[in-house]
Amino acid sequence: MSDNLRPEDRRRTMQAVKGKNTSLERTLFSMLVGMGLKGWKKNVGDVPGKPDVVFDRRLVIFVDGCFWHGCPTCRRKLPVTNREYWERKISRNVQSARKVDKTLAEMGWKVIRVWEHEVMDKRKRGAVRRRIRFAKKEDIRQDGGWISKDRARTPEDTE
């Protein structure tokens, strides 16, 4: 097999091709446990897009694989063989993720998307935790929007 990949990239690509990296999901789940968060479920099939994590208060988390979703930070190399196939596949993934986000938003769900590299890189996990904590603090408004419980006034009040 000849391609343009370094052994390291090839290994990661093959991992990505096999499906969702289970260690990625495990890392996310243990982060949530470590944050002391309760009331969430893994891989709920009946929510659009099958999010990795579903909280009871209409909040979901997706971890997007850097290869599968064409992460602009990691810029994983595509196999040279069937390159067009991979390009199409990844662009379809990106499009369908956008569609899922839109559907969930219309249903009144809040969506957090994190990149695989943000979960797998210890130094970036702090930022992921902050995003999740921030989202958990928000509550749904009557108009379907979200408002932080910490805020005494809605943003509209300040205008």
Point out which residues bind Zn ion (CB under 5 A).
66, 71, 73-74, 115, 117
Q: CB of residue 119 vs Zn ion: minimum separation in angstroms?
A: 10
Contact of 64 with 114, CB cutoff 8 Å? yes
Burial of 67 (0-12, 13-18, 19+ CB in 10 A): buried
Smallest gap from residue 20 Cβ to Zn ion (A): 14
Of 74 and 147, nearer to Zn ion (C-beta) is 74
CA distance 133 to 143: 22
User: Distance between CA 59 and CA 108 in Å, rounded?
Assistant: 9
Q: Find the shortest distance in angstroms from Cβ 76 to Zn ion.
A: 8
Q: Minimal distance in Å, beta carbon 52 to Zn ion?
A: 16
CB of 49 closer than 8 Å to CB of 105: no
